[in-house]
Amino acid sequence: MQKMTGFKCEKCGKMFYPKHARCPRCGSLELKEIDLGNECTLMTYTKLFAVPEGVEQIPLLLGIVEFKNGVRALGQIVAEEVEIGATLQPVWGPLRKVHGKTVSGFKFEPVKRKLS
């Protein structure tokens, strides 16, 4: 299974997503790919009704999540309803069409807690 990754500056330790050519804090070129983990928290979201050409799902649920290491990402949310603060996990899947071709990437789905 693919893991969602971010980047860490080897020089100053800044972690970020997506990739930049240089570290956004210190400008270093020494960047290392890091695992962002399997759990993130929903910071804000929207249900998009006026979707762009290339998106078929109406409404499209989009949100910004924060991983435990503080790195944030934006993505689609695979759920009918969500709330700020919900715990989500990244999952790989098709996102939309660009110039007629399907593009895939990470989306976020609610974590199903196992009953122990």
Partner 1 sequence: MLRQVAVIGCGMTKFGRHDGKTLLEIMVEASLRAIDDAKIGERDVDAVYVSTMLSGELSNQTALGSALVDQLGLMPAAAHRLENGPASGGSAVKNACMAVASGFCDLVLVTGGEKMRHISGDRITDLISTMVHPTAEYVHGVTLPALAAMFTRLYMHRYGLKREHLAKVAIKNHANALKNPYAHIHQPITIEGILYAKEAEVNNPLVADPLRLFDCCPVTDGAASVVLCAAEIAKEFCDTPVIVAGLGQATDTLAVHEREDPTLLKAVQVASQKAFKMAKLTPADMDLAELHDAFTILEIAESEDSGFFAKGTGHKALEEDVTSLGGKLPINPSGGLKARGHPVGATGVAQIVELTWQLRGEAGGRQVQGAEKAYCCNFGGFGNNVISFVLTRRN
Q: Which residue has the tokens 């990437």?
A: 105
Contacts of partner 1 in 3-42 (CB under 8 A):
16-18, 24
- Pair of tokens at residue 107: 């989306």
- Figure out which of the listed residues 75, 82, 86, 89 binds partner 1, where binding follows CB under 8 A: 75
**Distance in angstroms (rounded) separating the CA atoms of residues 106 and 87:** 15
- Figure out which of the listed residues 55, 78, 79, 91 binds partner 1, where binding follows CB under 8 A: 55
Least distance to partner 1, CB of residue 79, Å:
14
**Distance in angstroms (rounded) separating the CA atoms of residues 16 and 69:** 10
Q: Does 80 bind partner 1 (CB under 8 A)?
A: no
CA distances to 25, 60, 74, 113, 115 from 105, rounded to whole Å, are: 26, 15, 11, 24, 29
Q: Which residues of the shown chain bind partner 1 in the complex (CB under 8 A)? A: 16-18, 24, 43-55, 57, 59-60, 62-64, 72-76, 84, 95-96, 98, 103, 105, 107
